[in-house]
Homo-oligomer: A and B are copies of this chain.
Amino acid sequence: MKTEKKEKGREYEVFSQYLKDKELKLTAQRELILETFLKHHGHISAEELFQKSREKQAHVGFATVYRTLKHMTQCGLARELDFGDGRIQYEPELDRQHHDHMICTQCGTYIEFLNPQIEELQDQVSKQHGFKITSHRMQLYGLCQKCQKTKK
- A126, CB-defined interface residue at 8 Å: yes
Contact A122–B129 (Cβ < 8 Å): no
Copies in the complex: 2
The reply to whether the CB of A105 lies closer than 8 angstroms to some CB of chain B is: yes
Specify the main secondary structure of chain A where it touches its partner: strand
Known: A82-B84, A117-B121. A136 touches B131 (CB 8 A): no
Q: Does A61 contact B (CB under 8 A)?
A: no
Given the known interface contacts A82-B82, A137-B137, the answer about A131 and B126 at a Cβ–Cβ threshold of 8 Å is: no
Residue A97 at the B interface, CB < 8 A? no
Number of residues in A with C-beta < 8 Å to the partner?
33
When each residue 118-138 of chain A gets 1 if its CB lies under 8 Å from chain B and 0 otherwise, what string results?
100110011001111111111
Hey, which chain B residues are within 8 Å of A145, CB to CB? 129-131
- Are A126 and B142 in contact, CB atoms less than 8 angstroms apart? yes
24 contacts between A and B (CB under 8 A): A82-B82, A82-B84, A102-B131, A104-B131, A105-B134, A111-B129, A113-B125, A113-B129, A115-B125, A118-B121, A118-B122, A121-B121, A122-B138, A126-B140, A130-B148, A131-B143, A132-B143, A133-B141, A133-B142, A134-B142, A135-B140, A136-B139, A137-B137, A138-B138
